[in-house]
Amino acid sequence: MRSHKKRTAGHYFVTFFLILGLLSSVFSQISIKDKRQLVNSCIDGNNHKREPGPEDSLHQQCSPWKNNSCCTGNTTVHAHGGKMYGFNYNHCPNKKMSNKCLEHFVQDLCFYECSPNVGPWVQMVSSMKMRRERFLGVPLCATDCDDWFKACKDDFTCTDNWTLNFEWINGTNRCRPESECRTFSEIFQNSSNFCERVWDHSWKYTDNSEPCMRIWFDGSQGNPNENVARWKIQQSNSAVSYKVSSVQLLLCIFPALLLSVN
């Protein structure tokens, strides 16, 4: 009688762990599937398409993304207009941004609107009205950042944090009264400070010898940023799957031990 009871309790225990093991493998499959979709996905923003795909009519600087993009032709025309989202690049009175500097901001905007490769760096945001998701810490190749800063170093601005430190009035940004217009060189000092601070850490300055994104590339050679996204996912997958598989191993060994004891 006693031994029968014990066996039943043991069996419940075994069943419990087998179900736990099964559930954990199901969940790890789901998360791997999610990660695969991340390689090719669009941010949930105002202008972004739901899914990336070919777009024949991308405008000028955004055309490298033609084969696979999150932006439409219309969005890319506006991206070249210099006031998308009401953002005023000429926020310092009587200091119009130079064309060579603006060109890099347009390229940055093309990347933001069109890139299907930032999935692994996406974060939810609640504080911004123009988008529900943003990217954080995307590795930007040092040379792309250096060229951008070099083109802008003699232009003027009044803050190093363009995401959060402007005053927004009537749908456009302006310098806070207490701020002072100075050159990019004075405000940011160097290229890495510039790229990392200007959009509040959307970019991370990254040596070209490491996996990093290009905002400037020749689309006819394919999009080099696809591999960077794949690398990032592989990196976080191997960390996750190592944890998952060791938990699964324990969950399988434990019932087996119990069975053998019984």
Ligand X SMILES: *[C@@H]1O[C@H](CO)[C@@H](O)[C@H](O)[C@H]1NC(C)=O
**Footprint of ligand X on this chain (CB under 6 A)?**
47, 74-75, 78, 161, 164-165, 169-170, 189-193, 197, 200-201
Q: State the nearest-atom distance from the C-beta of 206 to ligand X, in Å.
A: 11
Bridge partners of 168?
Answer: 173
Q: State the nearest-atom distance from the C-beta of 36 to ligand X, in Å.
A: 30
Enclosing H/E stretch for 114: helix 99-114
Instruction: Write the DSSP symbol of residue 158.
Output: S
Tell me whether residue 17 or residue 203 sits nearer to ligand X (CB atom).
Answer: 203
Coil, strand or helix at 159? coil
Tell me whether residue 18 or residue 136 sits nearer to ligand X (CB atom).
Answer: 136
Nearest residue to the partner ligand X, using Cβ = 161
Q: In 216-246, which positions are buried (b, 16+ CB within 10 angstroms) versus exposed (e)?
A: bbebeeebbbeebbbebbeeebeeeeeebee
Q: State the nearest-atom distance from the C-beta of 16 to ligand X, in Å.
A: 46
Q: State the nearest-atom distance from the C-beta of 188 to ligand X, in Å.
A: 9
Q: State the nearest-atom distance from the C-beta of 23 to ligand X, in Å.
A: 39
Bridge partners of 182?
Answer: 157
Tell me whether residue 131 or residue 230 sits nearer to ligand X (CB atom).
Answer: 131
Q: State the nearest-atom distance from the C-beta of 83 to ligand X, in Å.
A: 10
- As a whole number of angstroms, the distance between CA 12 and CA 117 comes to 47
Task: Decide: 197 and 184 in contact? Cβ < 8 Å.
Answer: no
Q: State the nearest-atom distance from the C-beta of 150 to ligand X, in Å.
A: 12
Tell me whether residue 83 or residue 243 sits nearer to ligand X (CB atom).
Answer: 83
- As a whole number of angstroms, the distance between CA 68 and CA 53 comes to 5
Cα 212 to Cα 16, 18, 20, 36, 146: the distances in Å are 45, 42, 39, 19, 14
Rounding to the nearest 10 degrees, give the CA dihedral for residues 145, 147, 227, 135. 30
Tell me whether residue 79 or residue 228 sits nearer to ligand X (CB atom).
Answer: 79
CA 72, 75, 76: angle at the middle one, nearest 5?
90
Tell me whether residue 26 or residue 177 sits nearer to ligand X (CB atom).
Answer: 177
Tell me whether residue 11 or residue 80 sits nearer to ligand X (CB atom).
Answer: 80
Q: Which amino acid is at 180?
A: E
- As a whole number of angstroms, the distance between CA 45 and CA 128 comes to 10
